[in-house]
Amino acid sequence: MRGKFITMEGCEGVGKSTQVSLLIDYLTKLGKKVYFTREPGGTVISEQIRKVILDPENTEMDAVTELLLYIASRRQLTKETIEKKLEEGFYVICDRFTDSTLAYQGYARGLDKELIKKLNEIAVGEVTIDATVFLDLDPANSFIRKGGADMQDRLERENIEFHKKVYEGYRHIAAENPDRVICVDASAGKEEIAAMIIEALEKKGII
């Protein structure tokens, strides 16, 4: 039986890592096989690409170069890991995936959204996302929660206007994909957020 593919999305500092961990714990207690991965990264090759993308020294990186690096990382992760784990019946939980590219490179960088969607299709092949959890918290508040931007992360160092565009991008994506995207108020406490995520996934028949 094919596994389930769940992606976790949101702006910087919304608590994705915490919620991923809590969801993995819950699924494991249910006796599910769970595999966690992240983007960009998740394989040896993709992690090497991640270093190039996020390196704060790479200030001259062109927006299209950035986009293509994300797509290359995603393709490698999908073919090397995600496809196989889903075939083996795992719940694959991914911290960021295709929606991040549309939000960051499309809505925030201003690149052609249809081009990004096409490149995403090439990267993921036949893999489909069963559910996406969007942790809804605006960047002004999410950065306060995080304690400020990570200055070793090139994307986090972008100005607040960039991150506001990312946020609005996510909101557009969620509105356009109501059957897939679960919007969760990320201003709540972590346990409350976790409970909302689990309830929504159960209603969708994902778990």
- Ordered per-residue pLDDT tens for the chain, 207 residues: 899 999 999 998 899 999 999 999 999 999 999 999 999 999 999 999 999 999 999 999 999 999 999 999 999 999 999 999 999 999 999 999 999 999 999 999 999 999 999 999 999 999 999 999 999 999 988 766 666 666 677 887 888 899 999 999 999 999 999 999 999 999 999 999 999 999 999 999 999
For residues 168 and 106, what is the distance between their CA atoms, to the nearest angstrom?
11
- Whole-angstrom distance, CA of residue 182 vs CA of residue 200: 7
pTM over 0.85: yes
* Domain 4-203 architecture: 3-Layer(aba) Sandwich (3.40)
Residue 136 dihedral angles phi and psi, to the nearest 5°? -85, 105
